[in-house]
Amino acid sequence: DTGVSQDPRHKITKRGQNVTFRCDPISEHNRLYWYRQTLGQGPEFLTYFQNEAQLEKSRLLSDRFSAERPKGSFSTLEIQRTEQGDSAMYLCASRAIGRRRDRGSGANVLTFGAGSRLTVL
């Protein structure tokens, strides 16, 4: 297991179609995050999971967005009825949980995948 994998790397779709992205985190990492990044901006938090539980969801995540992590391993992010404004890079990241949040820098570090770039025509 060499890192966080995301699939597909690129997706071009027509407005109104549904798209799904998959993220496979580092196997021993039990926290998984989704971010959205548009050109020239920093990553914007969308949601995160601890194991299979979705613990927080940003207001950016409209009803058209849903994320799951059914077995606490891989995660999917689905966008329904895509709009041109959904065009962005969707980044997945994972991290381990330390026994204490500040014990050792490794447990607090996010490992990112290469991202899934969505273009909505």
Partner 1 sequence: SQQGEEDPQALSIQEGENATMNCSYKTSINNLQWYRQNSGRGLVHLILIRSNEREKHSGRLRVTLDTSKKSSSLLITASRAADTASYFCATDALGTYKYIFGTGTRLKVLA
Binding site for partner 1 (CB under 8 A): 4, 31, 33, 35, 40-45, 48, 50, 55-56, 58, 89, 91, 93, 101-102, 105, 108-115, 117
Nearer to partner 1, 8 or 16 (CB): 8
- 3 state DSSP class of 85: helix
12: which 2 tokens? 């071009």
Minimum Å gap between C-beta 94 and partner 1 is 12
Q: How far is the CB of 19 from partner 1 (least distance, A)?
A: 19
In the chain, beta strands by DSSP E: 5-7, 10-13, 19-24, 31-37, 44-50, 53-57, 65-68, 75-79, 88-95, 111-112, 116-120
Q: Which is nearer to partner 1, 18 or 108 (by Cβ)?
A: 108
